[in-house]
Amino acid sequence: MSVMYNKQSKNDRLLKNDQNLAGVETIMAYYHESFTIQSDRRPTFDDVTEKAMEVLKRSGISGGLMVVYSQHTTCAVLIQEQSDDTNYWGTQFILQDLVNGLAAIFPTCVNEGQYLHPGPKHIEIAGRERNEEASWSLNTDAHLRSVMLGRSVIIPVNQGKAELGEFGRIYFADFDQVRARERTVRVSIIG
């Protein structure tokens, strides 16, 4: 029989499943936590490696997969090495190089009509239903950059340690340049 442990907030549940294909009784655990970060009104990269490792430790899962995920459609999660040099904004050079490369593919949206999205219907609905300012929708570049990089990473967990390699760090990127916002980082571990 498989047992899945699911911890979200302070509610604990046990979910039972059938035997695995080999007929051997197995236990599969699932653990989830989230935390928030604050973005700025420019592309930002938060190194969430240590917080993700703390979640992994609290999970008690020693082997499996860890998923770090963004629910925000203008954000991405990526693994990259730490660059020791930073620009005047504090952005590591390697991450600024990434922004520069993505800007060559998807130029920063500076005025309406630069991209097809957002159209007039989107602006109208966003204002009416979500009380959004029209200028907040000038973030098409951020949406496209997020899609290109992906909103999650999956990291193998072996003997309680995330297999990030010698230099790997987990970064939560927010490419939205129209407003600063609080963002949620989700971490799930399955093992």
Answer yes or no: are the C-beta atoms of 32 and 190 closer than 8 Å: no
Tens-place pLDDT, residues 129-148:
999 999 888 999 999 999 99
Average pLDDT, integer, range 163-186? 95
Backbone angles phi, psi at 183, to 5 degrees: -120, 150
Residue 73, number of CB atoms within 10 A of its CB: 13
User: What mean pLDDT do residues 57-80 have?
Assistant: 97
Q: Which helix (H) or strand (E) holds 23?
A: none
Instruction: Enter the tokens of residue 159.
Output: 């003997």
pLDDT averaged over the chain? 88
Domain 33-183 is found in CATH 2.40.100.20: no
Read off the DSSP letter of residue 177. Answer: -
φ/ψ of residue 130, rounded to 5: -125, 5
pLDDT for 7: 41
**φ, ψ for residue 26, nearest 5 deg:** -130, 160
Q: Provide the pLDDT for residue 32.
A: 97
Specify the pLDDT at position 28: 87
Query: Over the stretch 2-23, which tens digit does the pLDDT of each residue have?
Result: 233 344 433 333 344 444 555 6
Q: What is the mean pLDDT of residues 16-44?
A: 78
Identify the DSSP state of 21: T
Count the alpha carbons within 13 Å of 124 in the hemisphere toward its beta carbon: 3
Q: Tell whether the model's pLDDT for residue 74 goes beyond 80.
A: yes
DSSP three-state, residue 11: strand
Q: Which of 72-81, 127-136, 151-160 has the lowest mean pLDDT?
A: 127-136
Residues 166-176: tens digit of each pLDDT: 999 999 999 99
